[in-house]
Structure formats: structure tokens, C-alpha cells
């Protein structure tokens, strides 16, 4: 009569098999590993990737601060001969190697370098996070998308008019030229101003970044300004005055012309402004001050004073976006293929 009960070695074998299957399932779920069965009945695990892409590199995000959610990291991507010359085949995935992440190519020089913001769902505190960059697919087009990457985004160069779903025109008077595919050009003389503010208010603890070019200037008080409104539409701060100015809200000084990138950190207890003259240069502190705010409506302002003041100002506004704030910004490094 056959034995109804499992022998000890049979029970142990079953436990080992079940444990192995559970580990395999966990590996598949967490890291994208898939089983590959070999002719000798052994199982080899390999990490799945994006179909059609021949190259992949790991990107390590090192975070010394607290855990972050939906945080945007900036990655400098040097061109590789396996990439499309315009970086159109760049793709980014989460740690599993298959879940695609939203990204936006902020600026690029074909066949040389691209600066890419990637939105990462979660980054552990005081630790590292691995995501992946794919390329090597000549048949795809870019999926760069600032709208999906940031909490607020406007690429002025792709618009043919002001996007009134995003902005309110607070003051109208300057000449606005939308003909370029890189920027909107704003020009005017005494009293010909333009102010646009975000249509909705945003909870503080975020970073506003933008690229501006003061093309030409003549005469008295002329400047580009970044200012903030509260929920009652009252001005509560002038974090940035860039140009020729002589009033108390900004330091006196000579006109600053040319292209600059600005970063404005907006927190509940105060704000800080930083600038730089190239994407490879370090941020330089500009101004900072304290306040007590919960929600803000940022605004961009072309200011040429009053009609009684002669002179003119021409600016180019390239792009503007909001991203998550971190007290200690994570760093990134790209591995080998």
C-alpha cells in the first residue's frame, strides 16, 4: 500500500521549490527579471528591457536628504554614436527596467550633449536609486514632454500666442512677438509693460526655473522681474529684478545683459534666487528674503517704467517650469553600457 504522507526529503524539496518560485516572482515584480530556461533544465534570470533599444545604461541617483516623491532630476547626457544625432531615441525607465518615466529635453546640441529632466516616482531617503537610460533605436521619435514632467510648464518657443489656460495677462502694453520657435520676444519703451501670472496658485515649497535673454536696453529703469501674488491677487514679493534698476526691492547696479538661467526657491518661510550663465556653470546666489506664505501665484514681468521715462527694453523668454523642492538636491551618475 503506498504511503499517504510525504517523506521528509520530499517535503523539504517542495519547500525549496516553492521558495524558489516566490523569489522568482519577487524578482520579476521588483526588478523586472525574467526567467530564461536552458536546455539542461536550469533557470537563468535576465533583466527585461525596452523592445527595440539596443543600448542601456544605469543611472544612479544618490540622495543624502529625506525620501522624495515624483522628483525631477537633471541628467547631462553626452552623445554616444549609438544614439540618434538629435537624441530622439532617449528613453528612461524606473528600476524595473520597463516602466517608462516622463522626461523633458531642456536643451541639446545635436551629436554633442543633451540636458534632460527626468521625473522619478520615488527616491529613498539617505540612499540610492537606480533608473535606466535606453537608446540605440533608429526608428523611434522623441517622447520628450515637459507637461508630464513638471508641476507647471510652458515652453514659450512652441506657442503662437499666450496659453491662457495657464496664464492670466495682468498688464498688457508691450509688443509681443511669437514668430520664433525658440522663445517669445517682448519689447517696449516707457510704460509699455507686460505681466503674466499663473492662472492658479501653488502650495509653497517648490522651485521655479526659467531662461531669459535681455537683448537690448536703453534709458532709465528697465528690467525683467519675477514677482509673486497671494491668493487675493496682492503682490507679496519681488524676488528678482534683472536689468537697470534703482529702487529698494533690488540691489542697485549696472544692466546685466545676455542669457541667464534663474532658479527661484519658494518656501513657506522665505525665498532665494540663484542664477548662472551656462548649464555647466554653478548656481550663484542672487538674493534671498523671509516671508510667511502658504500659496503663491508666480508672475513674469517686462517692466519699462512710466511713459515719461525714455528708453526701451527687449527680452526673450524661452521656458518656465515648476519642479519639486529638496533641501539637499540629489546627484546623478551614468554607468557604462
pLDDT 10s digits, 19-55? 655 554 544 444 444 444 444 454 444 456 899 999 9
- Does residue 137 sit in the same domain as residue 203? no
More confident call, 322 vs 26: 322
- Does residue 280 sit in the same domain as residue 159? yes
| 141 belongs to a structural domain | yes
Q: Of 145, 180, 207, which residue is a domain's last?
A: 145
289 contact partners, CB below 8 Å, separation of at least 6: 237, 239, 270, 271
CA atoms of 265 and 281, how far apart (whole Å): 18
- Does residue 165 sit in the same domain as residue 100? no
| 15 belongs to a structural domain | no
Q: Of 111, 145, 179, which residue is a domain's last?
A: 145
Instruction: Pinpoint the alpha helices (H) of the chain.
Output: 8-31, 146-149
| 207 belongs to a structural domain | yes
| 157 belongs to a structural domain | yes
Q: Of 75, 110, 145, which residue is a domain's last?
A: 145
Read off the CATH number of the domain in which 59 is found: 2.60.40
Mean pLDDT value of segment 136-150:
98
Confidence at residue 9, expressed as pLDDT on a 0 to 100 scale: 61
Q: CA 164 from chain center: how many Å?
A: 22
Residue 100 backbone phi and psi in degrees, to 5: -70, 145
Average pLDDT in the chain: 86
- Does residue 190 sit in the same domain as residue 256? yes
| 33 belongs to a structural domain | no
Confidence at residue 31, expressed as pLDDT on a 0 to 100 scale: 42
Question: Ranked by mean pLDDT, which of 2-6, 29-33, 171-175, 302-306 comes out on top?
Answer: 171-175
| 101 belongs to a structural domain | yes
Confidence at residue 119, expressed as pLDDT on a 0 to 100 scale: 99
Lowest mean pLDDT among 13-27, 43-57, 131-145: 13-27
| 275 belongs to a structural domain | yes
Model confidence band, residue 151 (pLDDT cutoffs 50, 70, 90): very high
Report whether pLDDT(154) > 90: yes
- Does residue 206 sit in the same domain as residue 80? no
| Domain limits for position 257 | 152-324
Indicate the number of domains in the chain.
2
Short-list 266, 197, 202, CA closest to 233: 197
Confidence at residue 280, expressed as pLDDT on a 0 to 100 scale: 96
- Does residue 175 sit in the same domain as residue 305? yes
**pTM for the structure as a whole:** 0.83
CA atoms of 46 and 50, how far apart (whole Å): 13
| 242 belongs to a structural domain | yes
Read off the CATH number of the domain in which 194 is found: 2.60.120.560
Within a 10 A sphere around the Cβ of 168, how many other Cβ atoms? 16
CA atoms of 9 and 17, how far apart (whole Å): 12
More confident call, 1 vs 290: 290
- Does residue 231 sit in the same domain as residue 119? no
| In the block, residue with C-alpha cell 499663473 | 198
Report whether pLDDT(168) > 70: yes
Amino acid at each position: 500500500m503506498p504511503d499517504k504522507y510525504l517523506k521528509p526529503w520530499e517535503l523539504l524539496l517542495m519547500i525549496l521549490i516553492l521558495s524558489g518560485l516566490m523569489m522568482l516572482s519577487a524578482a520579476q515584480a521588483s526588478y523586472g527579471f525574467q526567467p530564461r530556461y536552458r536546455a539542461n533544465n536550469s533557470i537563468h534570470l535576465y533583466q527585461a528591457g525596452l523592445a527595440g533599444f539596443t543600448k542601456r545604461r544605469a543611472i544612479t541617483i544618490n540622495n543624502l536628504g529625506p525620501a522624495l516623491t515624483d522628483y525631477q532630476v537633471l541628467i547631462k547626457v553626452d552623445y554616444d554614436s549609438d544614439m540618434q544625432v538629435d537624441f530622439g531615441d532617449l528613453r528612461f525607465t524606473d528600476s524595473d527596467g520597463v516602466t517608462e518615466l516622463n522626461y523633458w529635453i531642456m536643451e541639446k546640441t545635436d551629436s554633442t550633449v543633451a540636458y534632460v529632466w527626468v521625473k522619478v516616482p520615488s527616491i529613498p531617503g539617505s540612499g540610492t536609486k537606480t533608473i535606466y537610460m535606453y537608446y540605440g533605436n533608429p526608428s523611434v521619435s522623441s517622447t520628450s514632454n515637459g507637461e508630464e514632467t513638471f508641476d507647471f510648464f510652458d515652453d514659450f518657443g512652441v506657442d503662437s500666442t499666450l496659453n491662457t489656460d495657464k496664464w492670466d495677462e495682468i498688464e498688457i502694453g508691450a509688443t509681443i512677438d511669437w514668430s520664433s520657435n525658440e522663445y517669445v520676444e517682448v519689447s517696449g519703451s516707457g510704460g509699455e509693460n507686460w505681466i503674466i501670472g499663473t492662472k492658479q496658485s501653488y502650495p509653497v515649497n517648490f522651485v521655479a526655473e526659467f531662461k531669459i535673454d535681455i537683448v537690448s536696453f536703453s534709458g532709465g529703469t528697465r528690467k525683467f522681474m519675477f514677482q509673486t501674488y497671494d491668493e487675493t491677487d496682492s503682490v507679496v514679493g519681488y524676488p528678482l529684478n534683472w536689468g537697470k534698476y534703482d529702487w529698494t526691492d533690488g540691489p542697485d547696479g549696472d544692466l546685466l545683459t545676455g542669457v541667464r538661467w534663474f532658479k527661484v526657491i519658494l518656501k513657506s518661510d522665505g525665498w532665494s534666487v540663484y542664477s548662472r550663465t551656462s548649464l555647466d556653470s554653478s548656481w550663484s546666489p542672487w538674493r534671498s528674503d523671509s516671508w510667511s506664505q502658504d500659496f503663491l501665484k508666480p508672475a513674469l514681468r517686462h517692466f519699462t517704467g512710466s511713459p515719461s521715462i525714455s528708453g526701451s527694453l527687449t527680452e526673450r523668454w524661452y521656458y518656465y517650469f515648476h519642479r519639486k523642492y529638496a533641501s539637499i538636491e540629489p546627484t546623478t551618475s551614468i554607468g557604462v553600457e
